[in-house]
Structure 1
């Protein structure tokens, strides 16, 4: 029987983390490329800023539906087929976006973006796979290691928006659709990496080792209280984790979706907006190991509180940023990404701690549905708010909304 501080299968856990990291580097490029130009592509085809947030809403809604599928496939067959299916679907959506741009067909574009969102579902659920075989004392670090791997691809993706646009132009494809060439290839390769090398499957191996029973036995003497009390604590822990991630996701999508549009309207080119998005994506994932260490060391609640405060700071900086200052906008989106990272790692760790291994993958899939819906709402609403008011109003409102995490923490603490 392993202790709480060690993995029951350390060699397998190391291999799983390496393979997941490689897949995340590839898929991160696919995700970030689409984020960079999705709103601009819709704005170009519809000639309307008010609906520029629709692409973000659509591929986030697509990730919600895909999260259910990925979770159910993972529950029944393991992480390998579940995650690979999501990546492959995202690749199909990327190809369809290119076809829609060539045909200048908005209806096909919206359907394609919905399908493209499946890649995001696998991007996020890979973090759960990193923790399947992790020791309870190091779960947050395992989650954050997988997230950190997205940094490389996430930084590469936006910065090749201009070159892929030029490549697309040589083939008669609209320049703004160019990054989806990269997205299709990246998602396909990520699926291939998992199918070939994610062996053993971490979830199936964790079940065979009866990890949940070992954790329960190792912590039985220190858990304390009656079984109903433990169940109640698990329920409140799960709810706080979900709500923390929902709020940070909603705020992030609302602000980041409209930033490229805001910059475009002030004369900045694709390269400038790509740089800002690259900084943002780097800040979302690069600090993950440090965030994981903080959660493992000090607990999920303080880091969740930090997510709300950091997101507020991001909103204030974005609102105050001069329209011609790429540097200040990059700082604002870096803070926004950091706040999201704090919320995602702390919230994910709460959920993993609260959900039994036997139903973990299915529950995690459903949790990510709510996360995707929050992102879709933020993306869709952002265009409407910016069109009716301003980018500054959108940014400040989002930052204030993120502070709702603090009373949620207080309410959860008072109920325990």
Structure 2
């Protein structure tokens, strides 16, 4: 693989690490185990993230007013973005396992704080809780990168998309459990809309414990040992918990700027997420305009379940297309679907079935840009700086989505939902121009 790896330093050893292979032939069993474990924890984490998101805007509107409902949602997105920095530092220094555990536990703390905010009506505590709640999203996003650390080049898109798809099993059903969670916890004395966040905190803790105990050997550290062996660099005797020097965000940015494929990958992920968050965040409020308080939770649950199904259910197909048709082709397809989604949702009025169709298309377009963009980004940069570049991507994606969520509440109040969808569609245009820009043959459709 020919990459230079700087001298290693030791980190705490584990008995399970002592048998970590340094030959590619030994990787397949580890990759299968890693994928199974990530698949399971993505289901658990997906429940935790989605059951809270389903009522986040409604809870914020009830505590602080509709005008800032989008800001509360954006706090969770900002939290996921900002937490990408410390989580990436931990991953770079010590591997995927401790980074994912840190992210999930932070999300659990956030869920508890949101429950306390609902009980006290204290708006600053609500925003702090939503900020930390973003840790669950940060963990779910970083897990997709762990799936490609040891993946074969021709299967990267499919294996990354498998972890994205795993979220479907928990996330599609989770919004419909929001009302049940609310009823159950109301008997315990919790205020309305607080129950889903209590359930989220439990789910995040469970995912963290499973990863802490079972994600061994660490896929990133194993990949580094393979790179070192291929480059003729022999790590010191002892556990393969040794790591390369930390590559910060500045170094990651320089790598991205120098590589056209990396630039397109990071832009596809960020813009796709921006459009999805902008439209999705205000859809529950839009539904609340035409449904009573009694019905709105049920309707929001159904619509968001359909949206999440669009995001995740066809991810394996998107991953297969990413490997077969090429990364750029799938990114362009995702852009087309996002534009169609904005058109359908923006013209749906208060027609719930048509609005649901728009949200399904929105999720499908996000899937195309996320899977193909993440795959392209991961394979476009060297292994030793890959976690830093991936963290930069999640930071950029999160900040883009946070800005969209923050503005969406204001646009919703001043100009309405149709204008919001129009502005979201316009935001796709720069990505379209970048994806259509001519590139050297194979530069954007690389197989590794």
> Using a 3 Å threshold, how does the CA distance of structure 1 residues 297 and 385 change in structure 2: closer, same or farther?
same
Would you say the 8 A contact 2:179–2:297 is kept in 1? yes
Instruction: Measure, in 1, the Cα distance between the counterparts of 2:308 and 2:122.
Output: 29
Say if 2:274 is the partner of 1:250: yes
Task: State whether structure 2 residue 60 is matched by structure 1 residue 42.
Answer: yes
Where does structure 2 lack aligned partners over 5 or more consecutive residues?
Answer: 2-23, 232-254, 444-448
Equivalent in 328, 339, 357 of residue 331 of structure 1: 357
Query: Match for residue 372 of structure 2?
Result: 346
What is residue 39 of structure 2 aligned with on the other side? 21
- Residue 8 of structure 2: aligned partner: none
Structure 1 range deviating more: 398-407 or 78-87: 398-407
Return the match for 1:149 from 150, 166, 177: 166
In 2 relative to 1, CA 18–265 (structure 1 residues): closer, same or farther, beyond 3 Å? same
Q: Partners in 1 of 2:224 and 2:171 — Cα distance?
A: 32
Distance in 2 separating the partners of 1:322 and 1:362: 43
Residue 398 (structure 1) shift: 1.1
2:203 to 186, 191, 194: 186
Q: Does 1:70 align with 2:87?
A: yes
* Counterpart among 167, 180, 183 of residue 163 in structure 1: 180
1:108: which partner in 2? Answer: 125
> What corresponds to 1:401 in structure 2?
427
Q: Does 1:318 align with 2:345?
A: yes
Residue 29 of structure 2 is aligned to residue 11 of structure 1: yes
Deviation at 1:322, TM superposition (A): 3.4
- Please, which of 191, 195, 199 is the counterpart of residue 174 of structure 1? 191
> Could you tell me which residue of structure 2 aligns to residue 202 of structure 1?
219
1:355 aligns with 2:372: no
Equivalenced residues, count: 394
Local SS of the residue matching 2:66 = coil
Deviation string 1:307-343 (CA, Å, 9 cap, x unpaired) is 11100111111012131x3222211111000000000
Once the two structures are TM-superposed, the CA of residue 7 in structure 1 deviates from its matched residue by 7.3
Q: Does the 8 A contact of 2:277 with 2:401 survive in 1?
A: yes
Deviations, residues 255-277 of structure 1 (Å, cap 9, x unaligned)? 00000011012115101101111
CA deviations over 1:190-240 (Å, ceiling 9, x no partner): 1111111111111011111118958xxxxxxxxxxxxxxxx8996111111
For the structure 1 residues 398 and 7, does the alpha-carbon distance in structure 2 shift closer, same or farther, using more than 3 Å as the test?
farther
So what's the TM-score if we normalise by structure 2?
Answer: 0.85
Q: Which moved more, 1:273-282 or 1:404-413?
A: 404-413
Partner of 1:224: none
Equivalent position of 2:288 in the other structure: 264
User: What's the CA shift string for 1:174-202, capped at 9, x where partnerless?
Assistant: 22111112211111111111111111111
Gap runs ≥5 in structure 1: 215-230
Distance 1:207 1:240, change over 3 A: same
Which residue does the alignment assign to 2:141?
124
Alpha-carbon offset, residue 243 of structure 1: 0.9
Residue pair 1:308, 1:404 contacting (<8 A) in 2 also:
no
> Secondary structure of 1:393's partner?
helix
In 1, the alpha carbon distance for the partners of 2:201 and 2:438 equals 42
User: What is the alpha-carbon distance in structure 1 between the residues aligned to residue 361 and residue 286 of structure 2?
Assistant: 18
Q: Give per-residue Cα distances to partners, 1:63-122, cap 9 Å, x unaligned.
A: 111111111111111101101110011011001100110011111000111011111111
1:92 aligned partner: 109
What is the match of residue 228 of structure 1?
none
Measure the CA separation in 2 of the matches of 1:350 and 1:239: 9
Runs of 4+ in 1 over 3 A off after TM superposition: 211-214, 231-234
Find the aligned partners of 1:401 and 1:254 in 2 and give their Cα distance: 10
Distance 1:172 1:131, change over 3 A: same
CA positional deviation for 1:19: 0.1
Q: Deviations over 1:335-385 (max 9, x none)?
A: 000000000011101111111111211221122100100110111011011
Q: Distance in 2 between matches of 1:246 and 1:360?
A: 17
* Greater helix content: 1
- CA RMSD of superposed structures (Å): 1.9
Mapped contact 2:257–2:263 kept (Cα < 8 A): no
Separation (CA, whole Å) in 2 of partners of 1:293 and 1:262: 35
**Secondary structure class of the residue paired with 1:51:** helix
Pair 367,159 (structure 1): closer, same or farther in 2 beyond 3 Å: same
Q: Out of 254, 257, 263, which is 1:239 matched to?
A: 263
Mapped partners of 2:105, 2:317: distance in 1: 31
- 1:260 and 1:273 in contact (8 A); partners too: yes
